[in-house]
Amino acid sequence: MKFLRIGLLVVVMGLFSVVLNAQAEAPVVRILPVDAAQFIPGAMFDIRVEVEAAELPEDFAVTVNGTPAGEFFGVERTDDTWEYGGRVAAVVSEGTPGDDFTIDSLVGDYYNPTFGIASVAVVDGVLNVTVAGETVTGALVEDNALAFVITGGAADGATAEFGLNADGGVTGFTVLGQPFGVLTSLPTKVVAPTWRGVTAPEVGEYVVEVTAGGATTSATWTVREVASSGAQNVILFVADGMSVPTLSAARVVRGMTQGRAENPLVIDSFRYIGLASTSSIDSVMADSANTASALNTGHIGSVNATGSYSDTSPDRLDDPQVETLAEMLKRTRGYSIGVVTTADFSDATSAAAFAHGRDRADANRNAYVVQALEFGVDVLMGGGARRLIPQSVEGSRRTDDRDLFAEFEAAGYTVVTTNTELSTAVEGDAPARILGVFHPNDMNVWLDRNVYTENLGEFTDQPGLSAMTIGALEVLSTNENGFYLTVEAASVDKQLHPLDQERALSDLIEFDQTIGDTIAWLEANGLAENTLIVVTADHGHGYEVYGTVNTEVFDAGTTDLERRRAIRVYNAAGYPDYPDADGDGQPEWADATIVLAGNVNNGPEHTEDFRVSPVPRVPAINQDGVFIDNPDDDPNGILITGTLDPASSTGVHTLQDVPVFAMGPGAEAFLGMYHQSEIFFGMASALGLNPAVESAE
């Protein structure tokens, strides 16, 4: 192993000299939170400075308004190191040399994360391997074109054996148990000084300056004034994927007479209305994680990130965090916190009230369930049972043996799993805390819970959004300090992705009715005057109505051309004729003759018949990596050409601004056009929240 140890020393010295040369040009530096980040006084957050170098330069320093960061915030720093990026092939030995294989096929650069780059050359027909300036030779092993006996160094006599993939391509070599994979690009080394749990208590600007390698990088953060509008409670309603066109469609299907809505939406009566943009810091497009985090923190993050700024570390849960509104309210005022959703409650929009992580995939979502327990969310309702049961139980999505149902119960939560159990739990004296998990995955949509019930399987006793919301209020309102509740209609989005307009619009109508039920409950319980209600979306979809369809003409057609003649526009469109015989505000979708000509402006190749589907739609299926029309979905529909990458199975979010509606104390702050991160500041101001002062008390 002496050769390897010497090689390691040479590599380190070589990298050190490279770093010194790079520092002459100054290393790349990233500051998190990013430039232009905004806070309220006393909000807690983490600072991380990423320096792309093997070690910090001698002149490294971080100051805040001219004072060393640690001294300014009174927090000691920790230094983390990692590598990111780079492309190194895994060494596999699936293939065998072909007739055209020669020793020259092995020439190239290989990489091992401990020992660095190994360059292989052929000199006068002899294999040469150079690691950071030290070269050894290799003699071909008889009857094995991929094995070479090393001569020189401490590895003298050891065999370096190369591997090929199934196509005969070289993947790398292994010597003394150390794999060196084919190097496409070298990973970047990072040193990251970090200060956790700091606060900026004073209103004003904070200039962060990082000196490294003779250069200075800076970011300016702003701590904003906080007003007070007299609100004690806040309810944030989020219809995931809602847009102005979806609201227009929901209004129209409930009946029109001479251009006026026969049955207006509840939010049509809201006086204060705005529009919010939704872009993330790293993309013009956004997802539910970074948008919902903007609503809950006031920070604009990266796609897929929740309550944190995305760094380059391999750990997707150690990224610098920013405190959420719910966390501030519980920490400083002892508020009760509620999260209600029709999705798995660890999903992006709902988890943004309490969770922190860079990736909304399974591993982080399993962690988010634990974070909810550790934080102490007082009301959690939605789906997601598969993330609470041990991995040994069939259907679990956990990778450990934790029984989170038992842990929540041990922490004092009343656990309910059906609508019947929920109703019983909140009758009379409500419990102090409640966990309601009503489905292994996302909950079923309104249309399947109320019409196509054969799609429910064994989960036939799920509560609706209104029942969960009112149940949550019964629990939260027992706290005299106040409460913050976020309510998500998740399946407006989840049904627009598979282009299912009827299921999306039904859930949007249920969402609006839930808002009406909530207002009535607040008024009946004397809480309307001190409760701010904000209604918005995290992002939009490209859904639009452009006319109506005569289904009798459409169904009589035998070709796409004949079916398209059933689509009516302008004055020929008239009104759809969805009935509402039971008067519940939900149209009877299957009983209409004239239906909406509505669709999403992006998606895979699929067919469309504009009719309600008795089963949840699957518009496209995978065929050799390309999504093509699903022949079992809308088989009588017209063919719609795909407008996305062929590997895309559903529609995607769009760039449109989303509507914002507000009522109650502080509602006037939501007029105008702004980035959705302003919604956080509007809610904080309505409450007069100033953690710097309140935590000091």
Give the per-residue pLDDT at 696: 57
Query: Once rounded to an integer, what is the mean pLDDT over residues 48-59?
Result: 97
Query: Once rounded to an integer, what is the mean pLDDT over residues 566-592?
Result: 97
What 3-state class would DSSP assign to 269?
helix
pLDDT in tens, 198-253: 999 999 999 999 999 999 999 999 999 998 889 999 999 999 999 999 999 999 99
The CA–CA distances, whole Å, from 265 to 198, 255, 339, 576 equal: 44, 11, 24, 17
Phi and psi at 679, nearest 5°, equal -65, -40
Show the CA angle centred on residue 337, arms to residues 233 and 326, nearest 5°: 85
Query: Once rounded to an integer, what is the mean pLDDT over residues 622-649?
Result: 95
Give the per-residue pLDDT at 25: 80
Query: Once rounded to an integer, what is the mean pLDDT over residues 482-507?
Result: 98
pLDDT at 667 over 90: yes
One-letter-per-residue 3-state SS of 191-219: EEEEEEEEECCCCEEEEEEEEECCEEEEE
pLDDT band of 184, cuts 50, 70, 90: confident
Go through the domains of the chain in sequence order and give each one's CATH number: 2-85+188-223 (2.60.40), 87-182 (2.40.128.50), 261-524+532-542+666-675 (3.40.720.10), 545-600+604-647 (no CATH)
Pairing verdict, β 567-568 and 543-550: antiparallel
Give the per-residue pLDDT at 87: 86
Running DSSP on this structure, what letter comes out for residue 617? -
Instruction: Pick the range with the lowest mean pLDDT from 112-116, 417-421, 434-438.
Output: 112-116
Instruction: Pick the range with the lowest mean pLDDT from 217-221, 360-364, 599-603, 685-689.
Output: 360-364
Instruction: Verify cis geometry, omega within 30 degrees of 0, for the bond prior to 33.
Output: yes
* Alpha-carbon dihedral angle through residues 593, 599, 603, 609, given to the nearest 10 degrees: 10
The CA–CA distances, whole Å, from 359 to 185, 304, 368 equal: 24, 5, 11
For residues 457 and 23, the model is more confident at 457
Long-range contacts of 55-59 (CB under 8 A, 24+ apart): 55/16, 55/19, 55/191, 56/191, 56/193, 56/212, 57/23, 57/27, 57/212, 57/213, 57/214, 59/211, 59/212, 59/213, 59/214
pLDDT band of 185, cuts 50, 70, 90: confident
Kindly report the pTM of this predicted structure: 0.88
pLDDT band of 176, cuts 50, 70, 90: confident
Residue 693's Cβ-count burial label (10 Å; 0-12, 13-18, 19+) is: middle
Q: What percent of the chain has pLDDT over 70?
A: 96
Give the per-residue pLDDT at 24: 53
pLDDT band of 142, cuts 50, 70, 90: confident
Q: Which residue(s) pair with 32 in the sheet? A: 48
Decide: 184 and 88 in contact? Cβ < 8 Å. Answer: yes
pLDDT at 448 over 90: yes
pLDDT in tens, 377-408: 999 999 999 999 999 999 999 999 999 999 99
* Alpha-carbon dihedral angle through residues 448, 449, 454, 455, given to the nearest 10 degrees: 50
pLDDT in tens, 83-127: 898 888 899 999 999 888 999 999 999 998 777 789 999 999 899
Query: Once rounded to an integer, what is the mean pLDDT over residues 43-59?
Result: 97
pLDDT at 2 over 50: no
Running DSSP on this structure, what letter comes out for residue 241? B
Give the per-residue pLDDT at 5: 36
> Which residue carries 């919902």 as its tokens?
292
